Structure 1
Amino acid sequence: RFDTNMDCHLSAVEFKEVYRYLLLVKLNEEEPTPFCRDMFVGERQGQPDDHYNVEGVIGSGNFGVVSKVTCKETHNVRVMKTINKEKAMRSGLPPRLVMEEINRLKTLDHPAVLRLFEYFVDAQAIHLVCDHLQGGELMAAVQDAHVRGKPLAEDWVRQLFHQVCGGVAYIHGKGVMHRDLKL
């Protein structure tokens, strides 16, 4: 890469390039780049309907619903989790804790971890816009294989296990515990 004339020797100029490159690598190890994911994720003003078309509800839980949405500007498909503040408070989850969770999610950046793109806060709810994961629940895949009487393919399980372990190790390294594994 640095031996530009391919003579198996480094000239003074080539050596300076190698030296510069190695210094940059070491600097990045000691002081990682100041840019991180949470700098690009934030609260968006307005209402979710101003920016997203709701395609339909794909799930519900104790605190609200999860909807499939499409961004009006980019046409990217996302998922919006709407947390009803009143229901959350009645269940012992104050909005302050939800906001702490959002602040943790904003910092996560790993291929095996759900990404938070933005969020909206209004008087009634907190709306989280995240990746759309089409694979479904892991337990549903295991149960489906059992019902069909066909075991899951070993290679598929190995790849899945590798991804899950990588994601869990990453979030544990960030001081976050997993609660919901998806495919």
Structure 2
Amino acid sequence: SPSPGSRSLTIHDFDIGRPLGKGKFGNVYLARLRDSHFIVALKVLFKSQLEKEGMEHQLRREIEIQSHLQHPNILRLYNYFHDERRVYLILEYAPRGELYKELQKSHTIDEQRTATIMEELAHALAYCHQNKVIHRDIKPENLLLGLRGEVKIADFGWSVHTPSLRRKTMCGTLDYLPPEMIEQRTYSEMVDLWCIGVLCYELLVGNPPFESSSYSETYRRILKV
């Protein structure tokens, strides 16, 4: 496991491999711990970028939440460390990449596989909700695939740990926004269930159910369901 007890890790403990993805605040690389040869995904974030966008609080929250969640369908955050310029998150490596890319390639996903994905997500979200965590941003880009094609929920940047499970912040992706968020009403963990419904539709049909050419029209369609 990439948490070697008392000594804190540095970038020199890793062999860095190919880039796995690019983000606004940095990149993700395939990496291997030199001591144990354990394979991980290393997410490298630039402090200057995080500070410029005022995202330090969100990152702390993401680390705090994800490091406590242990479920086969949730991407593990094993550990983190930082130096003067960067923050490094040591994440589980999901060899089959984003569900989004698979959907782009094949346009739709068959009913059997969609059903399996829904079941895995439902288990993972039930676990999140039992632990008073709402993810708030379930969409194909935030779902990774393990070696056997099993789903791994990633990216807890928008998630909240809320002892009361009631929130009022607007966030998430337009096509996946639930009506109560658009109307800025108080909402609960049920927003995640709306999102997996939208996802189920998108996987089977090839595009999200409320998609349209303008924001206002998408909003209207969502509100009218």
Tell me if TM exceeds 0.5.
yes
More helix by share: 1
Separation (CA, whole Å) in 2 of partners of 1:62 and 1:129:
18
Shift of 1:43: 8.7
Name which of 60, 66, 86 aligns with 1:105.
Answer: 66
Superposed counterparts of 1:133-148, under 5 Å = 133-146=94-107
Structure showing greater radius of gyration is: 1
User: Which residue of the partner structure matches residue 158 of structure 1?
Assistant: 115
Q: Assess, with a 3 A threshold, how the Cα gap between structure 1 residues 175 and 168 changes in structure 2: closer, same or farther.
A: same
Provide the aligned length of Structure 1 versus Structure 2: 138
Superposed counterparts of 1:66-145, under 5 Å = 66-94=28-56, 96-145=57-106
Identity %: 26
Structure 1 runs not aligned, ≥5 long = 1-39
Separation (CA, whole Å) in 2 of partners of 1:42 and 1:105:
19
Separation (CA, whole Å) in 2 of partners of 1:44 and 1:166:
35
- Tell me if the contact between 1:43 and 1:119 (Cα under 8 Å) persists in the aligned partners: no
TM-score normalised by length of structure 2: 0.56
Separation (CA, whole Å) in 1 of partners of 2:42 and 2:77:
10
User: Which residue of the partner structure matches residue 18 of structure 1?
Assistant: none
Q: After TM superposition, which residue ranges in structure 1, 4 or more long, deviate above 3 angstroms? A: 40-44
User: Which residue of the partner structure matches residue 167 of structure 1?
Assistant: 124
Separation (CA, whole Å) in 2 of partners of 1:121 and 1:43:
15
Structure 2 runs not aligned, ≥5 long = 146-225
TM-superposition CA deviations, 1:96-118 (whole Å, max 9, x none): 43223212112101000011111
Q: Assess, with a 3 A threshold, how the Cα gap between structure 1 residues 56 and 43 changes in structure 2: closer, same or farther.
A: farther
TM-score normalised by length of structure 1: 0.67
Classify the secondary structure of the residue corresponding to 2:143: coil
Separation (CA, whole Å) in 2 of partners of 1:78 and 1:174:
25
Separation (CA, whole Å) in 2 of partners of 1:125 and 1:78:
18
Q: Let me know the Cα RMSD of the aligned residues.
A: 2.2
